Structure 1
Amino acid sequence: MTATSTDAPTRARRARSAAPARRAAEPLSARRWALDLSASALLLAVPIAGFWTTFGGPAYLPAAVGAAVLGLAIAALGARFRWGVLLVAAATVVVYFVFGALALPATALAGVIPTLDTFRGLAIGAVESFKILLTTPLPVPATDGFLVVPYLLSLVAAVLVGSLGLRLRTPAWALIPASAYLAAGIALGASEPAFPIAQGVVFGVVAISWLAIRQAWAPSAVAAAISADGAPTRVGAGRRIAAGAGILAIALGSGVAAGAIAPAPTTRYVLRDVVIPPFDVHQYASPLQSYRSYVRDYTKEPLFTVSGLPKGARVRIAAMDAYSGTVYDVSSAGAGSSSAFIPMRSDMSGSAAGTPATVKVTIDGYSGVWMPGVGAAQSITFQGPNADALRRAAYYNASTQTAVDTTPLHKGDAYEIDAVVPSVPSDASLAKTPFAPVTLPKQQGVPQAFADLANKAVGDASTPIAQVRALQKHFAEGGYFSDGLEGQPRSLAGHGAGRISAMLGADQMVGDDEQYAVAMALFARELGIPARVVLGFHAPKDAAASGVFKADSDTLHAWVEVAFQGVGWVPFDPTPDKDRVPTQETTKPKQQPKPQVLQPPPPAQKPADEPPSIPDDRGKDNKNNTLPGWIGTALTVGGSTLAVIAVLLAPFVAMGIVKGTRRRRRKDAARPSDRISGGWDELMDRALDLGTPLASGATRGEDAATVASAFDQPAVATLARQADAQVFGPSEPTPDDIARFWGEVDEIVGGMTAQRSFWRRLGARLSIRSLRSGRRPASTDTTPPPPGTVPKERP
C-alpha cells in the first residue's frame, strides 16, 4: 500500500511533465486546422470588407477573396510539410503571377489564363498600383490595375496570418499582420468607412475567441488538468473556456457602452487626403466676371440642357463669399470655405436633406471648368467619349454644392447627377430662426458709406428674416433693370466697388443681376449677416412640366444666399424684374452761373489760439508700418512657442535660483568653519534630492556611511572626517582649505549625479526635499567663539 500510494503521485508528476512534450511532438489535429484556418479567414474578411467604399461595390471581391484563399492554402501546405521561410516566399511569388488573372482579367485569355501583359501588369502594379489608387478619385473602377492592391495585400496577409497561426504555440503573433492589413485598408481607402461597427466587432470577437480557445487547448492547460492518478480531465479546459467566454462578454459589453457614450468621430484621415494635392480653384477667374459675356454671346444657342429637373430647382454654377473691392470670388482654402474642393466620390452629401432627384446635364455651347449642378450632389456619373478624363479631374465642394472639372467641359459632354434638392423654407418658419454662426472672410475695399446705407435700408426690421427681406425689397423695388444690351438704358458691366458705388449714388439704381446680387451681399455683410453670391440659372415654369430645361442667356441669374441656423443657405433674389426699366435717362439740370460780385475783404481778426494738432492717421496706408503677413505669423508662432517653453522651464529656473542662493550663502558665510560645514550641508542636500534617505540628527560619519552605500562613493567618509577636523579644530580653516574642501564636494556631487538616470537627475533639480529637511543654514554671526570653546557639530 505504501509503495502504491507513493508511486501514484510520482506517475502523475511524470505524466504531467511528459504531456507537453508528447503534445508538442504530435502533428496538428483536425480541430486545430479547422480553428486556425477559420479564424484566419474571418480576420482577413474584415479588412477585405473595408475596400467596399473604395471600389464603390463588390467588383473587387473575386480578386481579394481569391487571393486570401490562395494565401491560406500556401500557409497550410507550408505548415503541413514544414517549409522554410524562403520556400514559402517563393511559393507566394509564383502564386501571385500564376493566378494574376484575378487582378487583371482584361489582360488574360478568357479572363483566366495569364499572358505576358498580365505578368507585366502584375510586376509594375506591385509598385505603382498603390500610387495610382491614391491619386484617383473615388470610387475607383475594377479596371486599370486597381485590383492589384487588394489582390496583393490579401495574398501576403493570408500567408502571414495563416503561417503564424498554424505554426506558433500562441496565435497572438498572427494578429500583427492581420492588424497591419486592416490599417493598410483604412489608409488606402476612403474617408467614409464601409462597415465600421461590424468590422470592429467581428475583428475583436474573432481575435479574443481564437486566443481563448487556443489557450484552453494548449499543452500546459492539458497538463494542468491531469488528475493525481495520471488520467486527464477536462475540468481545467472547461473552466478556461468559460473564463474566456466571460471575458469576451465583458469586453463586448464595455465596447458597446463606450461606443454609445463616446461621440462619433467627425473626420477620418486617410492617405488619399495627403497624397492628392489640394485643388486650387483660384487659378481660374471668378465666374461672376463672365456674366455679361454669357448674356451678350449666348442669346440664340443654348448653353446646356438639363433633363429631370425638379420643380422650383435652380441650376448652380458657382458660389462666392469673398470680396476684394474688385471682384467677388471664392475664399481662400480652408475647411468649409467656398474653395474647399475635394476629389469627387460617391456619397458626397450624405447628410443633405430634401427631395431626391436624378438629372442629366448635356453640354451644348457652354465651356469651362465650372460644372452646372442641381442641389446637393451625392454622386456624378460621366458619360460620353471623354467620361474617363472628366471623372479623374472632377472636384466637389459640399458646403457650396458646386463642382469643377480641370478637364474643361465641351459640347457633347454629359453627366448624370444623383442629388438631393433642398426645399426653400417659408418666412413664417424662419420668423424666430437666427442667422447661422458661419465664418466668412472679411470684405476688402468696401466703401464706409455702405454700412450707413445698409442700416437705412433695413430700417426698424428686428428679426433676421425681416432684415434680409428689407434688403431684398430695397433693391428689387427701388431699382431698375438693364443689362446694357441694345435697346436698353446704358448699364456698365462689372461689380467692383466703384461700379456699385456709382449705381447706388445715381438718381436711379440701374443694373442687372451681377450688380444687385453683389450690392445686397455687401450690405448684408456690413450688418453682420452671413451672405454669399451664387451664379446659376432659373428654369422657367414650363420646364418642370416638360422635364427638359435649356439654359441660355435669358435664364442666367445671380442671387444671394443667407445662412440660417439649423436650416442652411436660403436664396434671395434682389434683382428687379426685367420689365422694370427706367422710362428715361435722368440727368441733373445744368445750373446757370450767376454773375460774380466782388465782395469787400473781411475785417482783420486776431489769430485765435489753436489747440495743438494731432495727426490723424485713420484711413492712411499703413503698409510701411506693418510687417508682411508671413513675418507676423512667424513672430506669433515663435512668441507662443517661447511662452510655452518659458512656462515649462519656470520651475527649473525658480528652483535653480533658490538652491543657487542657498549655495552662495553657505560658501560666503562669515566664519570659515561655517563655510566648511556649509559645504558638507550642500553635499548632504544634493544626496537628499537624489533620493538618499538621511536620518534626522545623524552625525557626519553616519551620513557619510549612508551616502557611500547609496552611491558607491567611499571618499564621502574621508570628507566627513575632514569636515569634523576643520570645524572642531583649534584653528579656523584657511581659504585654501575651504576651496579644496568645496572642490571635493563638487567632485563627489558630480559622481553621485552621474550614477542616476536622466529622469532622476531631472527630478532632483525640482526636488524640494532638501528645502524642507530642517537643515540649519550656515551661521552668519561674525563674533569669534570664546577661546578654548569647541563648537558643536551641526547636524
Structure 2
Amino acid sequence: MAPLPRGTVTANTWRDLAVVTVLSLIGVWGFAPAFGDRGYLLTGIGGVLVGTAAGYLSHRFRLNAFVTALGAILVYFLLGSALAMPGYALFGVIPTLVTLRGLALGAVFGWADIVTLAAPVGAPDYITVLPYVAGWLVGLVTAVLVLRWMPRHDRTPGKLSVLLIGPVVLYLLGVLIGTETPFLASLRAIAFAIIALVWLGWRKGSATNASLQERKGLNKNKLIGTAIIAVAAILVTGLAGSALVPTPESRFVLREKIVPPFDPQDYPSPLGGFRKYTKDLGESELLTVSGLKASDKVRLAVMDTYDGRLWDVAGPEAQTGGSGSFSLVGESMPNAPLLSSKSSRTISISVDSYSGVWLPVVGYPTRLTLPTEPEDQTQDLRYNAATATTVLTSGVKKGYSYTFDADVQDAYSDDALKNVPTADVTLPAVDKVPDVVAAKAAEYVGTATAPIGQLREIERQLKVNGFLSHGLASDAVPSRAGHGADRIEELFTRNQMIGDEEQFAAAFALMARSLGYPARVVMGFAPENVEEGAPVTVTGEDVTAWVEVPFEGVGWISFQPTPDEKEIPQDQNPKPKTEPQPQVRQPPRAEKQAEDLLTNVDINDSDDDNKDDDAFALPGWLVAILWIVGIPLVLYLVPLFIIAALKSRRRTRRREAATADARAAGAWDETLDTYTELGYTVPPVGTRGMLAKDLSAQVTATATLDQERADAPASESESVSDLLKRLASGADEAVFAGVDAPDERVDELWQASENSSQVAASAVGWWRRQLSKFRISSRGSDTKQGTVRTAKTTRRSRGKGEK
C-alpha cells in the first residue's frame, strides 16, 4: 500500500478528532452555572475550534513544537477578541489594546478571580476569556495528540484513553468553578459516558485479515455491545444517580471552599467610630446624593457579631449564612436573599469629605457602575448580598462619584406582621452580654407574644424612657461614647437612659438577640428635608444607626429605637448627708492623672498599631507548614553550613600554608580526609604510595559492587589510580626533595586531589555522599610532622622515597 501524502488525515483520524471535540464541548457546557447567560457557550465552542484548527495546521505543515506553540498563541490573540470580548473589539472583531490586555489577564488571573466571584459572574471584563482559553488549550493539545501522536502508536485502549484527558479536565473544571446546584448532571454524564465508551469500543479496530462473514459477525457483536453499554449507562446514571450524586451541601465547589480575599476584620468597626461624625464632622459635607426619596437611608455597613466590646462586621471565620460573605463582583450584583421589593431607585453619589473602604449605598444594589478614570477600581469592588454592604478595598476619596440601581425593601404595617414569625436566619453568636440586657428585654415585652409585638414594645420603651445626647459640649447631660458591655450596662442602670443612636441601636439588637430573634445593627445616614429628584447633601449630623430583624417571606424590617430629642430632667436624688468622722491623719493624696478623667472608648482591636501587626500575620495553615517543614530544614541546614565552613577553613589553611612543601602535603592530607568522610577506610600507617594503591582498590571495588551506580565505568576507577599515584609521588617529591616545589607543581597536585575526590564520591551511593557532608576529618598533624621532617632531614634524604 502506497504511503499517504504528507499532511493527509485519514477518515479514522477525522472521526477521532470529531469525538474528542464533541466531548470537549460537553465539558464546556458545564460552565453554565458560573456564567449564567449563553454567551459563555459560544466563547467556549470558539475556543475549542480555534485550538483544534491550530493543531491541524501544525500537522498539515509539519511544524515543530516551538513554532506550533507560537502560532497557536498568535491565533489565540487574533481571534479571541471577536469570540471572548466582542464588546471591546473594534467593530466587534478587530483586536484592540483592551481586548489584548483582557485575553492575557484572563488566561492568567481569571482562574483566581472566578472562585471568589458571586455566580453568575459578570466582571471583571476579562472573566469571559476563561471558557475561551480553556477550550483553546484543550482543543490544541487534543488535536496535536490525535493528528501527530496517535498515528505513530497502536490503537490500544490505553493509548486511546490518553485522548480523553483534555475533555475530562474540562468536564471537572465546570464542576469545580460551578455552584452547589448541579447543572444537568445526569444528562451530561450519560452523554459523555456513552460517547466515550462507544468510541473506545469501536475505535480499537477490526480484524483486517478476517473474511467477510467473520467481519459481519464482529460488527454484529459490536452493535450488541454498543446497545448494552448505552442501556447500562442510562440505567446507572438515571436510577442510581440520586444515590451517587452528592447533595448540594456536600458538593465540592471551589468558590465555597476558598475564603474571599477581603476580611472586614482588617478594618475598624464602622459603629465604633460613630462619634467621629457627630463631633468632628458634624457640619462637614460628606456626600451629595441624587435620586433619594423621603424615607430612604444611605447604608454604610451592617454589623452582626458582638464580642462584649463592640458590634462588628463578621469576618470569614465567623460568617454564617445570614451574615453572608464579601465577593468580587462587577456591574451586576447578586440577588439579595429574603428581599421583598416592589420599588427601585437609580442613585448617584458624589463623595466630598467622606473617606473609607465602606461604599455608601441605598437599599440593595442590583447594578453598580464605577468610574474608570482616572483609575479603574472595579477590581477592588466587593459586595455582600446578604447585608447589602459594599466595599471598595482601595477606598474612596474626595471627588469620587458612582451610580447604581437598587431595590428598596417594602414597608409593612404591624398588623400585616402580627402573625408572621421571624425568618430562620443564622447569625454569628453574641458574647459577653450583660445580664441586665435580658432582664430588661423580658420586662419591656410585657404581655406581648408575637415577634413584631415584642420587638415594637422594646422599641417603644427605649424611645419613651431614653434621652438623646451626642456627648457634645452643647448637650445638657454628657453621654459617654462606645457600646461595650460596660457602656450598655451603664445605659440601663443609671437613673436615666442617656445615649445616642450608637448605644440605643446596640442595646436594642442585644435585647432582641436575648429573646432569640436574629437582629443586626446597621449604620448609615438619614438626611433630612429630602426633595424627590433634587440632590441632597449629607453631613456628619445625619449619621444614624438602626436595627433590622428578618421576617418570614417579608424581608428585613427596620426598627428605630433612638428617642427623639427632649429635655433631660436633672437628677433629683438628694445627696446623702455627711456624718462627722474622727479626724485621722490621711496619706498624701495621689493626683489623678489626666488620662484617668477620660472615658475609654473601645473602637476596635485593629487600631493603628495592632492593625499593622495583623496586616503581616500569616494564616494558620501556612504557619503549620512552616513549622513542619522549617524545623527539619533548620536542623539539616545549620549543621551542614557549620561543617562546610570548617571544611572550607581547613582547606584554605592547607592550600595557603607558608611553604610549598606544606601546601603539597596539605593536598595529600585533604585527599585522605575527603576519602575518610566518604566512608573509605584509610590505613593508619603506610607510605603515600601504599595508601594510594589501597584507596584506588577500594574505589574500584565500590564502583563495581554498588548497584545504584550504573554510570560509574571502569575507566573512572582506573583514572583514580593514576590520580592517586601522581598525587602521592608529587607530595613525596615536594616534601623530601630539599628544594621548594614550583607553585605550578603544587597547583597540579591540588587539582589531582580534587579530581580524585570527585571520582571517589561518584563511586559511592547518594546516601554516603550525603553523610559525608556531616563528617569532618583532620590530618593536620601529618602535615605538621611532614613539615618538621622536611626542615631536619630533606637534604639527607634527597632522592629517596618515604620509608
Query: Could you tell me the TM-score, scaled by structure 2's length?
Result: 0.58
Partner-residue secondary structure (3-state), 1:477: helix
Distance 1:223 1:513, change over 3 A: farther
- Distance between the aligned counterparts of 1:479 and 1:449, measured in 2? 16
The C-alpha deviation readout for 1:344-373, integer Å capped at 9, x for no partner, is 355533645322635334123321111222
Query: Is 1:585 paired with 2:570?
Result: yes
Query: Is 1:330 paired with 2:319?
Result: no
Q: CA deviation at 1:158?
A: 1.0
Residues 122-201 of structure 1 mapped to structure 2, 5 A cutoff:
139-143=122-126, 150=131, 152-164=133-145, 167=150, 169=155, 172-184=161-173, 186-187=175-176, 189=177, 191=179, 197-198=183-184, 201=187
The C-alpha deviation readout for 1:448-496, integer Å capped at 9, x for no partner, is 3333333222223333332222211111122232334565422324133
Query: Is 1:512 paired with 2:500?
Result: yes
The C-alpha deviation readout for 1:632-688, integer Å capped at 9, x for no partner, is x99xxxxxxxxxxxxxxxxxxxxxxxxxxxxxxxxxxxxxxxxxxxxxxxxxxxxxx
Distance 1:273 1:481, change over 3 A: same
Query: Is 1:368 paired with 2:356?
Result: yes
Does structure 1 retain, via aligned residues, the 8 Å contact 2:305–2:312?
Answer: yes
- Distance between the aligned counterparts of 2:310 and 2:104, measured in 1? 52
The code of the aligned residue for 1:380 comes to: L
Distance 1:527 1:217, change over 3 A: closer
- Distance between the aligned counterparts of 1:116 and 1:547, measured in 2? 40
Does structure 2 retain, via aligned residues, the 8 Å contact 1:377–1:401?
Answer: yes
Partner-residue secondary structure (3-state), 2:414: coil
Distance 1:113 1:272, change over 3 A: farther
Distance 1:425 1:223, change over 3 A: farther
The C-alpha deviation readout for 1:143-198, integer Å capped at 9, x for no partner, is 5xx677655533331133345556474654422211113334554x46578xx525
- Aligned residue in 1 for 2:304: 321
From 294, 319, 326, give the equivalent of 1:341: 326
Does structure 2 retain, via aligned residues, the 8 Å contact 1:43–1:203?
Answer: no
The code of the aligned residue for 1:181 comes to: L
The C-alpha deviation readout for 1:323-364, integer Å capped at 9, x for no partner, is 344433234533327584333355533645322635334123
The code of the aligned residue for 1:344 comes to: V
Partner-residue secondary structure (3-state), 1:534: strand
The C-alpha deviation readout for 1:524-557, integer Å capped at 9, x for no partner, is 33444433321123365855x4375543345432
- Aligned residue in 2 for 1:412: 399
- Aligned residue in 1 for 2:591: none
The code of the aligned residue for 1:323 comes to: Y
Distance 1:114 1:573, change over 3 A: closer
The code of the aligned residue for 2:339 comes to: A
Does structure 2 retain, via aligned residues, the 8 Å contact 1:62–1:102?
Answer: no
- Aligned residue in 1 for 2:526: 538
- Aligned residue in 1 for 2:700: none
- Aligned residue in 2 for 1:464: 451
Partner-residue secondary structure (3-state), 1:303: strand
- Aligned residue in 2 for 1:443: 431
- Aligned residue in 1 for 2:71: 94
- Aligned residue in 1 for 2:598: none
Does structure 2 retain, via aligned residues, the 8 Å contact 1:395–1:404?
Answer: yes
Distance 1:245 1:89, change over 3 A: farther
The code of the aligned residue for 1:177 comes to: G
Point out where structure 1 has 5 or more consecutive residues left out of the alignment: 1-20, 598-632, 635-795
Distance 1:512 1:232, change over 3 A: closer
68-77 or 279-288, larger mean C-alpha shift: 68-77
- Aligned residue in 1 for 2:268: 285
Q: CA deviation at 1:213?
A: 5.7
Distance 1:262 1:339, change over 3 A: closer
Query: Is 1:551 paired with 2:538?
Result: yes
The C-alpha deviation readout for 1:186-215, integer Å capped at 9, x for no partner, is 54x46578xx52576346415513542664
The code of the aligned residue for 1:94 comes to: G
158-167 or 219-228, larger mean C-alpha shift: 219-228
Distance 1:593 1:78, change over 3 A: closer
Distance 1:142 1:103, change over 3 A: farther
Distance 1:359 1:57, change over 3 A: same
Partner-residue secondary structure (3-state), 2:522: strand
264-273 or 494-503, larger mean C-alpha shift: 264-273
The C-alpha deviation readout for 1:502-527, integer Å capped at 9, x for no partner, is 44334433322112112222333344
Q: CA deviation at 1:558?
A: 1.0
Q: CA deviation at 1:399?
A: 3.2
Distance 1:468 1:33, change over 3 A: same
Does structure 1 retain, via aligned residues, the 8 Å contact 2:362–2:406?
Answer: yes
- Aligned residue in 2 for 1:749: none
The C-alpha deviation readout for 1:100-136, integer Å capped at 9, x for no partner, is 3345799999998999999999999977775677789
Distance 1:231 1:201, change over 3 A: closer
- Aligned residue in 2 for 1:770: none
- Aligned residue in 2 for 1:402: 389
The code of the aligned residue for 1:269 comes to: V
Point out where structure 2 has 5 or more consecutive residues left out of the alignment: 583-619, 622-803
- Distance between the aligned counterparts of 1:121 and 1:136, measured in 2? 17
Query: Is 1:524 paired with 2:512?
Result: yes
Does structure 1 retain, via aligned residues, the 8 Å contact 2:501–2:546?
Answer: yes
Partner-residue secondary structure (3-state), 2:163: helix
Distance 1:44 1:378, change over 3 A: farther
- Aligned residue in 1 for 2:368: 380
- Aligned residue in 1 for 2:287: 304
The code of the aligned residue for 1:479 comes to: G
Does structure 2 retain, via aligned residues, the 8 Å contact 1:347–1:378?
Answer: yes
Distance 1:456 1:55, change over 3 A: closer
- Distance between the aligned counterparts of 1:135 and 1:54, measured in 2? 11
Query: Is 1:473 paired with 2:460?
Result: yes
Q: CA deviation at 1:224?
A: 8.6
Does structure 2 retain, via aligned residues, the 8 Å contact 1:53–1:190?
Answer: yes
Distance 1:33 1:463, change over 3 A: same
Does structure 1 retain, via aligned residues, the 8 Å contact 2:363–2:408?
Answer: yes
Query: Could you tell me the TM-score, scaled by structure 1's length?
Result: 0.58
Does structure 2 retain, via aligned residues, the 8 Å contact 1:384–1:414?
Answer: no
- Distance between the aligned counterparts of 1:516 and 1:471, measured in 2? 11
Partner-residue secondary structure (3-state), 2:440: helix
The C-alpha deviation readout for 1:251-302, integer Å capped at 9, x for no partner, is 564477669x97444765327954x764332232221132222234445454
The C-alpha deviation readout for 1:414-462, integer Å capped at 9, x for no partner, is 3344444333444343435257463432322x44333333322222333
Partner-residue secondary structure (3-state), 2:183: helix
- Distance between the aligned counterparts of 2:463 and 2:178, measured in 1? 46
Partner-residue secondary structure (3-state), 1:423: coil
- Distance between the aligned counterparts of 1:89 and 1:374, measured in 2? 55
Partner-residue secondary structure (3-state), 1:476: helix
The C-alpha deviation readout for 1:604-658, integer Å capped at 9, x for no partner, is xxxxxxxxxxxxxxxxxxxxxxxxxxxxx99xxxxxxxxxxxxxxxxxxxxxxxx
Partner-residue secondary structure (3-state), 2:574: coil
Distance 1:481 1:116, change over 3 A: closer
- Distance between the aligned counterparts of 2:577 and 2:104, measured in 1? 91
Two-structure CA RMSD over aligned residues (Å): 4.9
Query: Is 1:205 paired with 2:191?
Result: yes
- Aligned residue in 2 for 1:70: 50
The code of the aligned residue for 2:275 comes to: R
